[in-house]
Structure 1
């Protein structure tokens, strides 16, 4: 078994929480080595739990289902990656509720109704609940699909504060928060790209926020595009605004040594301008720009770009610039020859690596090739770094692949395609019209192992050395939930990935494409007998 370098072990053990812990938080509320208290796993976004020593290449074949937690059927995707601190598991459901359950048995400890805060969302904008949480200072922090940010009491679920961070009616959070030294950092994206021909597209401005963790007060905001201006009309007569968009879909990371916040942005919804498809390096204290790398020259895309004869609403169809090539993945920080690099996956299929202090390009690697699906073929949500290699997975790439790279050069060490028989067995076999061999989730790793789920409904664990599949489990089946409901799995959830904490593997299942079922989706927990 390989050993993670000391740099990564220190991050996983010492700053896994994502910063200093308030003196008011009791010892049993604090994250410890082996916990997974944030979407990123640690400040550097490694998505690596170096303290995991029960699930190993030698024992992984013995993983069994421990418990399931079932959701009411809502028709919405399940997308809130859990956070685990001690015996508590925190996550949001597609039913607009936020839950805390016992890690040992899945029994409910408390729940919070998100609809008790603020007005309902705008018509036509989905409200399917919370992002993945971050746990710190005795609080649980998360955003939701209306643009609210929350802090709940970690022990009781009592609301401490909730703030509406979004003045745009279609704004929301898909970015999960990062806690560091008394502040919360999270990005804002929006559903405005989904407006139809009569919609006055578009006025949303992506942004990154820094909030006071005690009060929710906004400390600074960085907008990714200037204020959109009316520049005429669309063919329907609706007012045309530009530039717009550049939403922040992914989650930020921080270089604690330099106090630099890194986060990627998405495409323009209309026009061409601002920091679209850009990796931003911001001063974590005041939000000022330190450097930026824009990786696409022009990229203006909205849902109407997928509709036949829509060139009038999607000008990029005519000149090939309707790409949807977001930097929607969370970045990774990693050391190479005494320098810290920051890497990030793009929906073009390229993984980019830059010098974290200067923004200089160090290397790029094409891991999938765009097709008529555009950005849907590339890298989404996030990659993992285990102290020796980087791991990134491609989405609808025909098939999606899991890749291991040398962090110094980007050289591909191994590539494993989504198994070709993924749609031929298990629950997905009954739905050949929906099943696809693709990797939606962010990648996760522990010593010697890499975790990645698929739209074929299978959760798989791979050898970090060779890419061989060591364990797989079909989730497209019915489960008796520990909370008394019956649930059914499906595509392994995006907006996050597998969580491995204290000898247990946690998997949210029920994402796009949704497999038909009379039941809602489930959170599954696996451990060794």
Structure 2
């Protein structure tokens, strides 16, 4: 019974040898002229939104040009200057798609630039929609754009959402998302399934620096807008409508509850159609989704679950004015925390369990079950998570590369970059803002301003982590060890491609570094603003 099988085995072996021989001969014939996979042209590694992807990873795994081996060779290729607008901290993170960079400006403008050269392609002025802007009534575009198809979406400081033709800059539609005079859009859009999701925040907390201001009447929200028509589909209010509640000691009208702004950019779990977003604190009263993580049905806006980490938390800038305790009632019972979620979330998996993680301004990174909201783990990355004010905590956003979570703290004495185990929260490595950061470069001339803090949202590519600081240094770290592999001082004057005088300052919060198609882009226009008569600057770096 075994004999019939022998001829078949022999013929199979003969055929296999012949096939292998042919492949070897083909390779030899092609010789040096044959391209390997790595040398073939690849599509550009785009970065199309604040989140990079809809799950908020801030990880560009398609970027292969900049590597741990060559990142030390990064050098400035071009710079783009922003107009000087007093007291404006620019945080619009660029989007880079198919060779064009899109970014908001400090002076009510939105720009499309050649990503390789910085040359202008078009500029859109929001004035015809939002009204005139000036140094006393500015309208910066702090929101970071999102590009989907042939449309680019972004918000402005007066509460408008815009949709432009990304090739020409022509206005497709605009929509004022909130009629409150102090509403603004710092959240960057998320485009998903034909809808644009964005949070609505406010300048009203800062208005209370004037104690005669009738605090407070703004309430935050999350909205879904039709991406093609600009029609509002649904809105989730984060707090009940403010009602008259007597007067303040100086006779100014008092309203409550209020606040619970949405500063951060939403993310989505496509498998369940769930939008995740964090919220801020109350400005007055104590009600609503204060300091919460919301899971919203993407189609209806209904709440699937909420996780409220701190309640109550009522805080405005009046809480920091000496002698003004009567205008900060929460100070009496210690609930003036300012521990909102200004950071965006990361959606990822632990084994077969879908989870979302998000950083809070008190310095705790929380992980929840994505379906139920049950806490999976949390990790404090500051010495004292009970420190009020939130400036020591996690400000804007974190990154996940499939292996590690990357989390940075701001003024945590010092700010520190962490790599966490996504399954447990265990600290894999940590790197403090370098001790000499305030002793060299432009910040050394103003040591009273310089601080060792990591300001922007964290960004990652394969093997690398990108994070800038309040000391004016942009740095790239090893993803495996946390070692600093490259740094650049931005606190200096720049000759810009658009001829606008520019002087770099702290690396901008709100957004973070963008790495796309072999280039690194960062905004240097944030707090602390080192003295200069020039405006901030967008910087573009590349390898030689």
TM-score calculated relative to the size of structure 2: 0.90
SS at match of 1:450: strand
Secondary structure at the residue paired with 2:331?
helix
Name 1:139's counterpart in structure 2. Answer: 151
CA contact (8 A) 1:399 1:417 kept: yes
In the other structure, the counterpart of 1:267 is 281
Task: Determine the structure 2 residue equivalent to 1:253.
Answer: 267
Partner Cα separation in structure 1 for residue 232 and residue 168 of structure 2: 25
Cα contact 1:79–1:94 (8 A) shared by 2 = no
1:114 to 2:126 alignment: yes
Deviations 1:353-382 (A, max 9, x none): 000011010001001124765211110110
Counterpart for residue 303 of structure 1 = 317
Residues 299-308 or 66-75, more deviating: 66-75
Output aligned runs, 1:292-371, within 5 Å: 292-368=306-382, 369-370=384-385
Say if 1:306 and 1:346 are closer, same or farther in 2 by CA, change over 3 A: same
Q: Which whole-Å deviations, capped at 9, do the CAs of 1:98-137 have from their partners, x for residues lacking one?
A: 0000011110000011112133589976522241000013
Question: 1:410 maps to what in 2?
Answer: 425
**1:437 alignment partner in structure 2:** 452
Q: What's the offset of the Cα at 1:265?
A: 0.1
**Residues 1:91 and 2:91 are matched in the alignment:** no
In the aligned structure 2, how far is the partner of 1:125 from the partner of 1:287? 33
Question: What is aligned with 2:72?
Answer: 61
Give the deviation of 1:485 after TM superposition. 2.5
Cα distance between partner residues in 1 of 2:310 and 2:386: 17
Aligned to 1:382: 397
Instruction: Give the CA deviation at 1:479.
Output: 1.1
Using the TM superposition, name which of 484-493 and 416-425 deviates more. 484-493
1:65-119 Cα deviation digits (max 9, x unpaired): 1111112222222211000001100001112110000011110000011112133
Q: Distance in 1 between matches of 2:530 and 2:514?
A: 23
- 1:51 aligns to 2:62 (yes or no): yes
Match of 1:16 in 2: none
Q: State the match for 2:535 in structure 1.
A: 520
Corresponding residue SS for 1:340: strand
- Give the Cα separation in 1 of the matches to 2:226 and 2:216: 30
CA deviation map 1:328-370 (0-9, x unaligned):
1000001101111101000010000000011010001001124
Over 3 Å counting, the alpha-carbon distance change for 1:526 and 1:77 in structure 2 is: same
CA contact (8 A) 1:475 1:490 kept: yes
Question: CA offsets, 1:456-485, max 9 Å, x none?
Answer: 100000011111111000001111111123
The DSSP-based 3-state class of the residue aligned with 2:318 is helix
Q: Which residue of 2 aligns with 1:25?
A: none
Aligned to 2:111, the other structure's residue is in SS state strand
Give, in whole Å, the separation in 2 of the partners of 1:324 and 1:62.
Answer: 41
Helix, strand or coil: the match of 1:455?
A: coil
Aligned residue runs from structure 1 range 370-519, under 5 A: 370=385, 374-519=389-534
Give structure 2 stretches of 5+ with no counterpart: 1-41
Q: What is the alpha-carbon distance in structure 2 between the residues aligned to residue 42 and residue 372 of structure 1?
A: 33
**Corresponding residue SS for 1:117:** helix
Q: Deviations over 1:249-308 (max 9, x none)?
A: 000000001000000000000011100100000000111110000000210000001111
Question: Quick check: 1:340–1:356 contact (8 Å CA) kept in 2?
Answer: yes
Match of 1:327, SS state, is: coil
Q: Which position in structure 2 is the counterpart of 1:13? A: none
Counterparts of 2:142 and 2:213, CA distance in 1:
26
Per the TM alignment, residue 508 of structure 1 is displaced from its structure 2 partner at its CA by 0.4
Preserved CA contact (<8 Å) 2:280 2:342: yes
Q: Residue 452 of structure 1 contacts residue 460 of structure 1 at CA under 8 Å; is this kept in 2?
A: yes
- Which residue in 1 is equivalent to 2:49? 38
Match of 2:173 in 1: 161
Instruction: Write the distance in 1 (CA, Å) between the matches of 2:134 and 2:99.
Output: 37
> Residues 125 and 303 from structure 1, CA distance in 2 versus in 1: closer, same or farther, beyond 3 angstroms?
farther
Shift of 1:518: 2.3
Kindly indicate whether the alpha-carbon contact (under 8 Å) linking 1:98 and 1:130 is maintained by their aligned counterparts in 2.
Answer: no
Residue 170, structure 1, aligned to residue 185, structure 2:
no
User: Does the CA-based 8 Å contact 1:246-1:276 persist in structure 2?
Assistant: yes
Shifted more, 236-245 versus 456-465: the winner is: 236-245
Specify the structure having the higher radius of gyration (Cα): 2
Distance 1:221 1:120, change over 3 A: farther
> Conserved in 1, the CA contact under 8 Å of 2:85 and 2:138?
no
Counterpart mapping for 1:8-23 below 5 A? none
- Of residues 112-121 and 184-193 in structure 1, the stretch that sits farther from structure 2 once superposed is 112-121
Size of the alignment, in residue pairs?
Answer: 499
Q: Which moved more, 1:263-272 or 1:193-202?
A: 193-202
- Kept in 1: contact 2:364–2:385 (CA 8 A): no
Structure 1 residue 229 and structure 2 residue 234: aligned? no
Question: Retained in 1: the 8 A contact 2:290–2:311?
Answer: no
2:392–2:412 contact (8 Å) kept in structure 1: yes
**Alignment match of 2:214 (pick from 196, 200, 203):** 200
